[in-house]
Structure 1
Amino acid sequence: MIVISNTGPLVALAKLDRMDLLNQLVPDGVFIPHIIQRELWAKSSFESAALEAALDGFIQVRSKPETVPVAVELATMYLDEGEKQVVRLAASLDEPLFVLLDDNAGRKAAQKLDLAITGTAGLLVSAKKQGLIPAVIPLLEALRTHGYWLSDELVEHVRRLVKE
């Protein structure tokens, strides 16, 4: 299974210095559209080195689809350009995949198109279940400390889910 990722979850994993988790959890490939690559290159902070290494390594850039079906156009028309390209790329592929998105608007658009979705928190839960990390909540709290917005409801939901 492959992943089509938006910028946010990649930045979150870079902030945690845990880009390795994505590579371990998704060995079949992580793909991003060109616009996400540009957004990642624009990051000028401590996580930029981790993002650059991932872009040079296991993250692959894919071109956006030439044509977009009307249903996909309608579902994505109000998204920002990055999310729009992520969802459109995912909808254009005929292979098992999930979309890695944290933003609610992007997630809703992907759901309308019956795309499988997860976010940063879901990825961390999977990492814990596979024994790649000992706990999720400390990582979510670290993200909050680094300015990554996560709702209280999401953190509490994850806390109950992983029993931390």
Structure 2
Amino acid sequence: MVLAIETRPDVLLLDEAEARRIAGLYDLPVTGTIGLLIQAKREGLVLSLAEEMDRLREQGHFWIHDDLYRRVLEEEKER
């Protein structure tokens, strides 16, 4: 975090709530894994957000809150 504060990157990749909170205190732009997936989908690099998020959950043991999962699919018009 100290390096990010000093170098002011275009964006930080953070998924943990506490890290996001601290980044917000310093006005650092943040995205997470799901944000990267959404961007990849918009650029045509990912065909299905549902499939990718399912893969993250099942193979990567990555926790995605059910509300976030549904909201992403609704906002990106997959469901």
TM-score, normalised to structure 1, is: 0.45
- The aligned counterpart of 1:92 is 6
Q: Any idea what SS the aligned residue of 1:97 has?
A: coil
Q: Any idea what SS the aligned residue of 2:47 has?
A: coil
Aligned residues: 77
- The aligned counterpart of 1:152 is 66
> How far apart, in 2, do the equivalents of 1:124 and 1:140 lie?
8
Of structures 1 and 2, the one scoring higher in RCO (CA 8 A, sep 6+) is 1
- The aligned counterpart of 2:50 is 137
1:102-141 equivalence runs, <5 A: 102-141=15-54
Report % sequence identity. Answer: 36
CA-based RMSD: 1.2
- TM-superposed CA distance for 1:107, in Å, is 0.7
> How far apart, in 2, do the equivalents of 1:127 and 1:108 lie?
25
- TM-superposed CA distance for 1:153, in Å, is 1.7
- Which structure has the larger Rg over C-alpha atoms? 1
Q: Any idea what SS the aligned residue of 2:20 has?
A: helix
> How far apart, in 1, do the equivalents of 2:67 and 2:5 lie?
29
